[in-house]
Amino acid sequence: MQAPRVRFAPAPTGYLHVGSARSALFNWLFARHHGGKFILRVEDTDESRKSQEFIDAVCDPLRWLGLDWDEGPYFQSQRKPDHTAAIEQLIDDGKAYFCDLSLADSQRLSAEAGLREGYHGWSRDRNVADGDGVVVRFRVPDEGSTVVDDLIRGRVEVAHDTIDDFVIRRGDGSPVFFIANAVDDHDMGITHVIRGEDLLNTTPRVMLLWEALGYGPVPRYAHLPLLVNEQRKKLSKRRDSVALSAFVAEGYLPEAMLNALALLGWGPPDEIEIRPTTEIVSLFSLEAVNKGSAYFDLVKLKHINNAYIKALTPAEFVQAAAPWLPGHYDLEVVEVLAPEVQQRISTLSEAPGWLDWLFVDEISEYDEKAWAKAMTGGRAADRVLAELIEVLDVDPFNDPGLLETTVLEVGNRLSEEIGARVMSQAPLRVALTGSGAGIPLWEAMTHLGKERTLSRIAAAQRRLGV
């Protein structure tokens, strides 16, 4: 294949949607796989939003994902003269015409003519003069059909009599995206148009314009299955939390996000799902993309993110998690304990939840269920605490193995004395962390220090009412 040129052409809506990100990704994968070019083009045809803020809202998430573009961003709004010229060419060639009818006019005419609802070329021969509020419509051929030879869907044929003469220039003179699309794709030498299935219906219109403008062979088209929500509806901003920035903020790793997104609508032939981006690039193929829509499952995303987090070295983890760690945390301690945290979190934002007890002066809140189980309802918890406060008064307080055996011995000794199993770790954990679950204590205790360890046991004794 000749080096392809593909483009990602988002509307500047002020954020990047996961569905859009997936489209961008598939374009990028295709370009990288074939050694082609990936072009970014912002489709701001209505000229209302092209502030830096809107541009960043699209570019930043793409950069974060690692989807580097080779050209652009181009702005459709800046190409308006070319679009206008194309519209004029079509008018001159008799392939487009002016129309000044309102929707109500059109509906009335359809009703009077006994035709289905829709615009039936009413102004084709009315010789309407151009003017304020007058639109330009494309004259769709009455006969025949247009065939989209889709790389994913195969042959899709749409009869021309189901396509009404559509508007290509608004009443205010601005070009509509169909025409901008055709002109830009042509001028930019786009060879493959890869986008969501929601645009499949508009493709014949763009193809018709392409042909009318004498552009020659159309690009290859590939319409990706839609990403849907639990209700199987197209993901929407209002209903679903879909901004990529939200995933960034929660602490998903870009490689994990990319990996997860690549698995929606596509799967590697060898069934190995979690793998480096370079492998995804080399295995990717548009022909292997499926047709059915996909639900973006957060649970699986978390699993994938956890896998990537676990694969980080401690130093890498600290660096990645730093934005979510309060400033008073000792990052050297975090790095030592990193592996224990990494295996327990699925997003980086969860990291403080496992570490916070290490960096506060005292426990202000205890998990009541854990307290009830280990303390109030724990066997001989009062005696365990009393013994621990004695035996843990050791120097130096820096040997995890020694701390472990020391603590467990307390439980074992009391077990023998009482004749029933006494757990010493459970009360200690609750006393130190306020929780019944957490990372292993021994190493962490050496960083908590003897002083805080003993004072927390004492605090627990007071709370127990001993």
Residues taking part in catalysis: 237
Please report, as residue ranges, which positions from 177 to 236 form the binding site for RNA (by CB under 7 A): 177, 197-202, 225-226, 228, 231-234
| Angle CA 42–46–52, to nearest 5 | 50
How far is residue 108's CA from residue 427's CA, in Å, rounded to a whole number?
Answer: 81
Q: Which of 145, 153, 213, 210 is nearest to 181 (CA)?
A: 210
* Size of residue set near RNA by CB under 7 A: 85
Cβ–Cβ < 8 Å for 194, 27: yes
Spatial separation of the C-alpha atoms in residues 139 and 97, rounded to whole Å: 7
- The two structure tokens encoding residue 227: 């990403």
Closest distance to RNA from the beta carbon of 144 (Å) = 13
Is residue 172 close enough to count as binding RNA by CB under 7 A?
Answer: yes
Does 6 contact RNA by CB under 7 A? no
Binding window for RNA (CB under 7 A); candidates: 162-170, 311-319, 394-402, 448-456: 162-170
164 makes contact with RNA (CB under 7 A):
yes
Q: Does 417 bind RNA (CB under 7 A)?
A: no
Provide φ and ψ at 269, rounded to 5°.
-60, -30
> Cβ closer to RNA: 3 or 288?
288
Of the residues 343, 362, 376, 420, which one makes contact with RNA according to CB under 7 A: 343
Q: What is the largest CA-CA distance in the chain?
A: 106
Q: Which is nearer to RNA, 232 or 462 (CB)?
A: 232
Which of 111-119, 250-258, 394-402, 449-457 is the region at the interface with RNA (rule: CB under 7 A)?
111-119
Site for RNA in 349-388 (CB under 7 A): none
Q: Say if residues 296 and 264 touch (Cβ distance below 8 Å).
A: yes
Residue (215 or 295) nearer to RNA, CB:
295
Q: Based on CB atoms, which residue is closest to RNA, 124 or 170?
A: 170
CA distances from 432 to 66, 102, 236, 392 (A): 42, 74, 45, 13
**Shortest CB 11 distance to RNA, Å:** 4
User: Which CB atom, from 28 or from 221, has the smaller least distance to RNA?
Assistant: 221
Residue 55 or 156 having the CB closest to RNA: 156
By beta-carbon proximity to RNA, the closer residue of 89 and 107 is: 107
Task: Indicate which single residue of 28, 64, 74, 119 sits in contact with RNA (rule: CB under 7 A).
Answer: 119
Between CA 455 and CA 463 the distance in angstroms is: 12
Number of H helices, E strands in the chain: 19, 12
Query: 50, 60, 75, 107: which one contacts RNA (CB under 7 A)?
Result: 107
Among the listed residues 390, 386, 392, 396, the one whose alpha carbon sits nearest the alpha carbon of residue 404: 392
Residue 31 CB, nearest distance to RNA (Å)?
A: 20
Closest CA to 317 of 304, 308, 326: 308
Does the footprint of RNA cover residue 144 (CB under 7 A)? no
Site for RNA in 242-271 (CB under 7 A): 263-269, 271
Residues 17-56 that bind RNA (CB under 7 A): 43, 45-46
Site for RNA in 123-142 (CB under 7 A): 133, 135
Interface with RNA in residues 433-452 (CB under 7 A): 436-440
For residues 115 and 72, the answer to whether their CB atoms sit within 8 Å is no
Contact between 110 and RNA (CB under 7 A)?
A: yes
Q: Binding mask 274-293 vs RNA (x if CB under 7 A, - otherwise)? A: -------------xx-xxxx
Tell me if the bond preceding 175 is cis, omega within 30° of 0.
Answer: no
Site string for RNA, 50-89 (x = CB under 7 A): --------------------------x-------------
Assess contact for 10 and 43: CB atoms under 8 A.
Answer: yes
Q: Pick between residue 104 and residue 216 the one whose CB is nearest to RNA.
A: 104
Among 258, 426, 432, 460, which residue sits at the site for RNA (rule: CB under 7 A)?
A: 426
116 binds RNA (CB under 7 A): yes
Phi/psi region, residue 39 (left: phi>0; alpha: psi -120 to 50; beta: rest), is: beta
CB of 178 to RNA, least distance (A): 7
Residues 6+ apart with CB under 8 A from 272: none
- CA 161 to CA 140: how far, in whole Å? 8
Cite the DSSP H helix spans in 93-202: 103-113, 177-187
* Six-digit token string for 378: 């724990």
Kindly state whether residue 111 participates in binding RNA, applying the rule CB under 7 A: no
The DSSP output letter for 436 is S
What residues numbered 295-324 form the site for RNA, per CB under 7 A? 295, 297, 299-300, 303, 307, 310
Residue from 308, 411, 432, 453 touching RNA (CB under 7 A): that is: 411
How many C-beta atoms surround the C-beta of residue 347 within 10 A? Answer: 20
Cis peptide before 141 (omega within 30 of 0): no
| Least CB distance to RNA at residue 176 (A) | 5
Q: How far is the CB of 296 from RNA (least distance, A)?
A: 7
Report the C-alpha gap between 194 and 29 in whole angstroms: 11
Q: Which is nearer to RNA, 287 or 462 (CB)?
A: 287
Residue type present at position 200: L
